[in-house]
Amino acid sequence: MKNVYILGECMVELSRTGDGLLKQSYAGDVYNTAVYLKRAFDDFNVNFFTAVGEDSLSDDMVAAFETEGVNTEMVQRSKDKAPGLYMISVDEQGERSFSYWRSDSAARQIMQFVSAENVGYLCMGDLFFFSGISLAVIAPNERDIFWQLLRKLKDSGVRIAFDPNYRARMWSDKTEAKIQFERAFRLSDVVLPGIDDLSQLYGFTEFNKIQDFCSAFGIEELVVKNGPDSVCCIRNGEFNEVAIKPVQQVVDTTSAGDSFNGVYLGARMSGVEVVEAVNLAAAAAGEVIQHPGAIAPKDAFEQAIRPLVDQSVAVAS
Ligand code: ADP
């Protein structure tokens, strides 16, 4: 059984319903990735390494992880903190905006739980996945613990995957983000940026520029997502541009990149070739964006994606 560890934060999500009420759910970039990876590859052990509180909302959140089949053995409990929260507002033009209450969340303390025992578990993983948001959430004075951990995982032979997922408001300035991201690039085997991440941070708008820049970091597999346009990948010098079939009825693009990441990584770990893995990941993201919110209904997602995954995995093995 493949063993995946995913580091980051899940938040309580509040969205308004038409009748003036609030709907509560749970989401966060790497958590979304964990959910879609598990839904598409049921035989994987997908572990979420995060911290929540000891309050009842945290209990409900952990119960939601379990409902999704995400392994909660690495979910840590902070004694004095609670989960972060965000609220989605939609204006009259249908534009979404987000308000966050996450600056003092339990997940910020996650590095305090990097014990010898937990490092031992993480070192047994086949893959460790984190994002630029996971990095931004770690308290700055505890970042060294993270980099030592990542180096240890790498030295233990764990495959490392990273999505920069740049969010300007989570960093004091671009330089701070760049320093952290470039450390991540250097230690990662697989990097999955959205083109927007790299254009905002470095001004790159073309794959060639991104490729040149990334070549200095020794990344084995670079997969650059560009919305409905295409996905460009380079693995060990072999370049592929994969066209995306645009979805006609886009309802909500939240979590497009996250679901793409989960299914791409699962497919690659199952022996599926890069281009086919992109096709599966794009099918998953294409399904997710036809539903509101970060987490699409389980049945609809599984019915659309599982048969495709099963077929590709059967061909690959
Ligand atoms: P991110 O969410 O990280 O910014 P993108 O916007 O590039 O990433 O979207 C991730 C993936 O979602 C794309 O690679 C593509 O497969 C899929 N996707 C996004 N928008 C569309 C769309 N309008 N039609 C079909 N697929 C889409």
Torsion sign over Cα 281, 287, 289, 294: negative
* Phi, psi angle pair for 119, to nearest 5°: -60, -40
Residues of the chain with pLDDT under 70: 94
Residues near 293 by beta carbon (within 8 Å), at least 6 away in sequence: 13, 15, 25, 27, 252, 254, 255
Helix (H) or strand (E) holding 242: strand 238-243
CATH classification at residue 126: 3.40.1190.20
Letter string b/e over residues 76-91, b meaning 16 or more CB atoms within 10 A of that residue's CB:
bebeebbbbbbebeee
Number of domains in the chain: 1
Residue 221, domain extent: 3-316
258 included as an active-site residue: yes
181 Cα–ligand 1 center, Å: 22
- Give me the pLDDT at residue 160, please: 98
- Using alpha carbons, select from 38, 39, 41 the residue that is nearest to residue 6: 38
**pLDDT of 245-270, one tens digit each?**
999 989 888 899 999 999 999 999 99
Report which protein residue has its CA nearest ligand 1's atom 22: 228
> pTM, whole model, 2 decimals?
0.97
Among 230, 232, 289, 291, the mutation site with the greatest number of ligand 1 atoms within 8 A of its Cβ is 289
* Ligand 1 atom closest to 247 (CA): 24
Catalytic annotation, pick one of 196, 258, 299, 310: 258
- Give me the pLDDT at residue 94, please: 66
